[in-house]
Every structure is written in structure tokens, then in C-alpha cells.
Amino acid sequence: MRSKLWMIASILLTLVVLTACGGSADQANPEAMNNMPEDSGSAEETEPTDPPAPTETPEPTMAPGYEMAMQYSGTWEGTWKNTTFGSEGPITITGTVYQDGTVTMEVDVGGFVFGLIDPDPQTYTGTYDANGVLFSILDDPIFGQLEVEMDFNGTFSAMADLIPEASIASMQVSGTFGDGMAQGEYMIEFAGGGGAEGVIELTQTSQ
């Protein structure tokens, strides 16, 4: 009799345990079921984005007067002649124009300049704007303090003083240029009085 009762009690205990722990988790906790996020389905597809536009390289800035100055760049070749004493020599000038508003001029004057020596070539740096080109040299070994102006209207001038050679007081040059040609006249003033005159002719051989 006790064994039957023990068997029945065991069966009842098993049913209680199965009732408390059995079934799915959703059935055991309906509130958790209600709080579960709804299935959103597959992940949203991201729309393709356009590639970034290529960065444009800005064009280099050109200083005012650049195009006008470029007309007179390159190599100029010609001669100078002292019409007072008959001496003469070659001249070669090479000009380079930069977009930042500067220009260089390599000058090689041959022959016995001022009746003395054949000077070494010199390189000068100047500036330009919408009106023309300006060179200001303070201590040139031949021409001393030298200032050269080139107007884009086709004229040029130069003034040299404080010349290292004691016998020369100053030199002035004036002329015109255009269409690949340049012509000018110069006058030299001697320190002891008197002077000499001469002419300059140049042709643009390359640009």
C-alpha cells in the first residue's frame, strides 16, 4: 500500500515540476514575449553615394602686366658703338619673366666699356606691373647705381651714377623698342667735364 502511495506521490510531483518548467520560454513569460522587438526583416540596403568630385587645381595667379612683359622676354643681341671715339662692342641680353611680378635680365656687354675693360656678365632682378618694368641696382661693379625703366608703351631709359670708375660721372640711355627691335642713344659725362655719345641696337633672336 505504501509503495502504491509513494508511486502516486512521485507521479504527482513529476507533473507539478513539468507544469512549472515545461513549455517554451514565451509561454512561461508572456510579458517578455510582448516586449520583444518586432522582426525588422533584413538589414536596410544603403543607397550608393556619389564619389567626391575631383579637386580642381587652381590656375597660377599672374601679376598685372605679365602678358605685356612676356613680349620682351627671351634673348636680344646687338651692338653698342661710341660715336665720339669710334669704339664698339657686342651686347647680349636675356630676359626671363615670372608670374609673381619679377623679371631677371642677364646682360653681357663686350668690348672696352668706358674705354677700360670687357666686364663680366651680370644678372639683374627687377619688377613689373601693368605699366612696365623697373630695375634698381645699387652697386653694380661697372655702372654703379643703375636704374632701368621699360614702359609698355615702347620706350626705355637708364640712368647710371656713382660709377666706380672715377673718370666717369654718369651715363644716360634712352630709346624705343617694339616688333623685336630696340634702338637707343646714350651719353656719358666725364668727371672732369665733357663727354661722349653713342648708339645701341638690339634684335630679339629668341623668345
Q: Looking at residue 62, what is its pLDDT?
A: 92
Taking only the tens place, the pLDDT of each residue in 87-135 is 999 999 999 999 999 999 999 999 999 888 899 999 999 999 999 999 9
- What percent of the chain clears pLDDT 70, i.e. is strictly above it? 74
Q: Which helix (H) or strand (E) holds 181?
A: strand 181-190
**Pair 121, 104: CB distance under 8 Å:** no
Give Cα separations from 199 to 111, 188, 191 (angstroms).
14, 11, 21
How many CA atoms lie less than 13 Å away from 18 in the CB half-sphere? 6
Q: d(Cα 118, Cα 20) in Å, to the nearest integer?
A: 120
Per the domain annotation, does 53 fall within a domain? no
Per the domain annotation, does 192 fall within a domain? yes
Q: d(Cα 146, Cα 51) in Å, to the nearest integer?
A: 58
Q: Which helix (H) or strand (E) holds 111?
A: none
Q: Looking at residue 58, what is its pLDDT?
A: 67
Residue 151's CB is within 10 A of a number of other CB atoms, namely 14
Per the domain annotation, does 102 fall within a domain? yes
Rounded to 5 degrees, φ, ψ at 11 are -65, -45
Per the domain annotation, does 9 fall within a domain? no
**Pair 173, 158: CB distance under 8 Å:** yes
For every residue of 15-28, DSSP letters joined together read HHHHHHH-S-HHHH
Per the domain annotation, does 140 fall within a domain? yes
Per the domain annotation, does 147 fall within a domain? yes
**Residue type present at position 150:** M
Q: Looking at residue 145, what is its pLDDT?
A: 97
Q: Looking at residue 49, what is its pLDDT?
A: 74
Domain that holds residue 181: 66-206
Q: How many domains does the chain have?
A: 1
Per the domain annotation, does 14 fall within a domain? no
End-to-end alpha-carbon separation of the chain, Å? 130
Residue 186 sits in a domain whose CATH number is: 2.40.128.20
Q: Looking at residue 45, what is its pLDDT?
A: 61
- Nearest CA to 72 out of 51, 49, 103 is that of 103
pTM for the model stands at 0.70
Per the domain annotation, does 18 fall within a domain? no
Low-confidence ranges of the chain (pLDDT < 50): 1-7, 9-10, 12-28, 30, 32-33
